[in-house]
Amino acid sequence: MNWLVLCACLFAGVAANLVEHNATPPKIADATFLQKQVDLLSLYFHINEPLQEPKLKAIAQSWSLTNNIDKYSNVTAIKVYSNLIDYGMLLPRSVPFLILDPTHQFEAVTLFNVLQSAKDYQTLYNTAVHLRDIVNEGLFVYVMAAATVHHPETQGIIVPPLYEVFPSYYHNAEVMNIAHRVNTHGKRLVDHYPQTFAWEDNMVIRWNTTVWPYLGNSDISTFYYSQDYALNTLYYNNHLTYPFWLSGHNGPLMKYKRGEYFWFFNKQLTNRYYFERLSNGLSEIPEIGSDFVDEGFASGLVYQNGIPFPIRPDELRIDQPKYSELLEKIKTYERRIRDAIELGHVVSVSGEKINLRTPEAINVLGNIIEGNVDSPNLDFYGSLINTWKSLLGNSIIQGHVFHKQHVPLVIPAAIENYQTCMRDPAFYMIWKRALNFFTLWSSYLPSHSEEILSVPTVVIKKVESDKLVTYFEHKYLNVTNALYLNERESKVVEDEISVLVQQPQLTNKIFTIRVHVKSDVAKKVVVRFFLAPKYDSNGYEIPLHLNTENVFQLDQFVYQLPEGEHVIKRESTGNMYTIDQWYSSYEVYLKALNALQGKGQFVIDMTQFFVGYPRRLMLPKGRVGGMPFNLFVHISDYVAPETPYGEGVNPEQTFGIGTGARRMTGYPLGFPFDRPLHQYQVETLTNFHVHDVLIHHKPTPEIVVPQ
């Protein structure tokens, strides 16, 4: 098989005084871990085709759920799923899978419970092999990834990035058509087509979606952000880590303040999209109303079976009879949430009144708006975000087609899939509307007091930063997994041709921020950097209390501040919650297989966070002449988190995904911008500083094609 190593090693510059949470020495994988890694990656190989290896075929044919029922802790799940198989009630293969559809969701959650209840790894693996060719491909990959993240026997196992498993979610129909053509022709006609060229042993397709002439979306100039492969995969991975259908109270991982994280995570992404709109001279994020949606969307994507993603036309009227049921639900949910916020309490399913006038209530509000199973009253408050997605998608229109008179066959729009929803501008319109509920809630809380905001013994004398520069560079994504094996390849279970897609992706030069500080005493502190636009789309300067809604947390770290004058130096590579790029599954497989055979070592890399934010997207594009932003720097006393860092988890492998052990401090997420912050509150603070910066975009020179 032709392989291309697409990832570089990660280097982090850490100041001597930095309290480095992620400082556990790298761990060398043992034979047991390596075998698990090789086993599970093999299941994703050409997922749209049947199993090829004789060993796997033998396991698939010999294993039985009911005959091995004693090897599972959830007997009910085994019986229910076995009945679904026996009665032919599974979602068929080769059709789109939608987790928002109740029937699809029931099958997916039941299968997750089957895998999760496996008492040992071998049972888990045998079950996965047995069901791989029976279960719908999309549903299998979704559940298998979720189970790998949450099952105690698979902690630390690298899940292949979805853009390598299902490339059709990330590349439009023309790209995939070219890929299939290359797969058929090989190198024979590579020079005949202008989009393709040979690079070493790989066939490469040049592509730039922002200049594709067949899309007329109004925000096409921001597609480099909204269609970024890593960002969309991050959103999908985050959902698998905190699925709305998995409870944090009795699930495999205790979800620590999942509602608060839900708010913070989506606010970060929405604000970054707003930055890109401003960078490209676009207006504010449009409001979404209850009568029509002005912004249409055409993704250009097709499902693996050739069915195109539905298109939403411009100025879509949603006050039509076919939308009335969902629209009425949305109006009802929003009214109930707004009433709860204004009354100061929500009503649980048992009738208990839960106070919303506390800072901790953001967790309750987040659970309600997401509509996850930890919502205190899911039936009453509903699932606002998912209902909006269903309304603006296509599943309700196509929901009249069934398999075996039971399983809906739907054609989800981009906004309905977690791996594609960020492509649609309506996603940010929905979230702009939803964030207004959090703003309304925070308006009932008292403003942060000077005592909480200030650290009298610390004075920020000045802040300096390197020149902030963004540019586009080529990234190469492997789409071979979506291309069908020919007869020769299927016999050796290897790809003769490796097809890559070359895409320009936004990135930024490494930069350093220097904070000149004077401290009267030596102490442990928390340093935070925030970025916010200085001007809105109309050119008006945004006052601080309104800009609270726009801030993007750039970095946060714990620092041991010495007495006297000192310079805190922080490099952009130091953010522990960001990653350069997930390792290619092809590279991981080869390294694990070689290590298993005694050819080298496989290091369990703690920096490969499943929910790591792309480091190259820390800065917005900016403008050629420089775009003004505010860099807010705040230093606060260190407050220990409620759950000590790393407690109850193995940080060498899991880094505490889904647990409170990931929280660096006890402060609320986004502090001090978790509530409106006015100018009068910060004017006298010596530990708060506003630094004006310009973000410059460097135009990409003419591309030199490798010979």
Closest-CA residue to 267 (of 706, 555, 636, 673): 673
Helix axes 362-370, 258-279, angle to 10 degrees: 70
| pLDDT band, residue 637 (cuts 50/70/90) | very high
Domain(s) of CATH 2.60.40.1520: residues in the chain: 450-480+509-697
Higher pLDDT, 415 or 701: 415
Give residue 378's pLDDT: 97
Which CATH entry fits the domain spanning 285-444: 3.90.180.10, 3.30.360.10, 1.10.1280.10, 3.40.50.620?
Answer: 1.10.1280.10
Which band of pLDDT confidence, cut at 50, 70 and 90, is reported for residue 19? low
The 10s digit of each residue's pLDDT in 346-380 is: 999 999 999 999 999 999 999 999 999 999 999 99
321 vs 457, residue with greater confidence: 457
pLDDT for 382 beyond 80? yes
Q: What is the mean pLDDT of residues 285-299?
A: 89
User: Does 11 or 523 have the greater pLDDT score?
Assistant: 523
Task: With a cut of 70, say whether residue 144 has pLDDT above it.
Answer: yes
Q: pTM for the full model?
A: 0.93
Q: Is the peptide bond before 672 cis (omega within 30 degrees of 0)?
A: yes
pLDDT, residue 702, reads 35
Question: Which band of pLDDT confidence, cut at 50, 70 and 90, is reported for residue 31?
Answer: very high
- Does position 512 have pLDDT exceeding 80, yes or no? yes
* Token pair for 387: 């209902």
Residue 185 or 615, more confident: 615
pLDDT, tens digit (0-9, with 9 covering 90-100), for 228-278:
999 999 999 999 999 999 987 755 445 568 899 999 999 999 999 999 999
Mean pLDDT of 115-119: 97
Which residue in 28, 706, 621 sits closest to 278, CA to CA?
621
Distance (Å, whole) CA 257 – CA 246: 14
Mean pLDDT of 164-173: 96
- For residue 309, is pLDDT > 50? yes
Superfamily of structural domain 450-480+509-697: Hemocyanin, C-terminal domain (2.60.40.1520)
Tokens in use for 526? 């928390």
Q: Which residue, chain included where needed, has tokens 């969701």?
A: 105
Confidence at residue 256, expressed as pLDDT on a 0 to 100 scale: 67
> pLDDT class for 146, splitting at 50, 70, 90?
very high
Helix (H) or strand (E) segment spanning residue 618: none
* Residue 366 burial (CB count, 10 A): 26
Closest CA to 571 of 7, 20, 156, 151: 20
Which amino acid, one-letter code, is at 276?
Answer: E
More confident residue, 296 or 209: 296
Statement: residue 23 has pLDDT above 60: no
Residues 6 or more apart from 144 whose CB is under 8 A from it? 40, 43, 44, 115, 128
pLDDT score at 220: 86
Confidence check: pLDDT of 115 > 80: yes
Can you give the pLDDT at residue 336? 98
What single-letter amino acid sits at 489?
Answer: E
Q: pLDDT at position 661, please?
A: 54
345-347 and 353-355: which strand pairing? antiparallel
What is the per-residue pLDDT for 704? Answer: 36
What does the radius of gyration of the chain's CA atoms come to, in whole angstroms? Answer: 25
Those residues with Cβ within 8 angstroms of residue 409's Cβ, 6 or more apart along the chain or in another chain: 92, 95, 398, 401, 402, 403
The identity of residue 249, as a single letter, is: H
Task: Tell me the C-alpha distance between 688 and 684, whole Å.
Answer: 9
The CATH architecture one would assign to domain 29-158 is Up-down Bundle (1.20)
Element (H, E) at 137: helix 137-150
CA dist 534 → 505, 531, 617, 694 (Å): 25, 9, 19, 10
CA distance from start to end of the chain: 22
Q: What is the mean pLDDT of residues 450-475?
A: 96
More confident residue, 458 or 188: 458
pLDDT for the residue numbered 295: 87
Span 199-228, pLDDT tens digits:
888 899 998 877 777 776 778 899 999 999
Averaged pLDDT of the chain: 89
At 566, give phi and psi (nearest 5°): -155, 155
Report residue 406's pLDDT band, with 50, 70 and 90 as the boundaries.
confident
Across the range 609-633, mean pLDDT stands at 95
Question: Is residue 536 predicted with pLDDT exceeding 70?
Answer: yes
**Average pLDDT, stretch 571-585?**
91
Position with higher pLDDT, 562 vs 252: 562
394: pLDDT strictly greater than 60:
yes
pLDDT of residue 84: 96
Q: What residue ranges of the chain are covered by domains with CATH 1.20.1370.10?
A: 29-158
Pairing of strands 512-519, 468-478: unpaired
| Pair 312, 413: CB distance under 8 Å | yes
* Alpha carbon distance 228, 220 (integer Å): 13
Q: For residue 124, what are its two tokens?
A: 């888990």
H or E stretch at 469:
strand 468-478
The region of weakest confidence among 114-123, 320-329, 508-517 is 320-329
Residues 6+ apart with CB under 8 A from 641: 660, 663, 664, 665, 666
Residue with tokens 């492998």: 653
What pLDDT is attached to residue 489?
A: 85
650-687 as b/e: b if 16+ CB within 10 A: ebebbbbbbbbbbbbbebbbbbbbbbbbeeebbeebbb
* SS3 track for 687-706: CEEEEEEEEEECCCCCCCCC
> Which pLDDT score, from 0 to 100, does residue 15 have?
35
Where in the sequence of the chain do the CATH 1.10.1280.10 domains occur?
A: 285-444
Nearest to 297 by CA among 228, 217, 368, 183: 217
At residue 140, φ and ψ (nearest 5 deg) are -60, -45
Is the confidence at residue 77, as pLDDT, over 90?
yes
Check: CB of residue 409 under 8 Å from CB of residue 398: yes
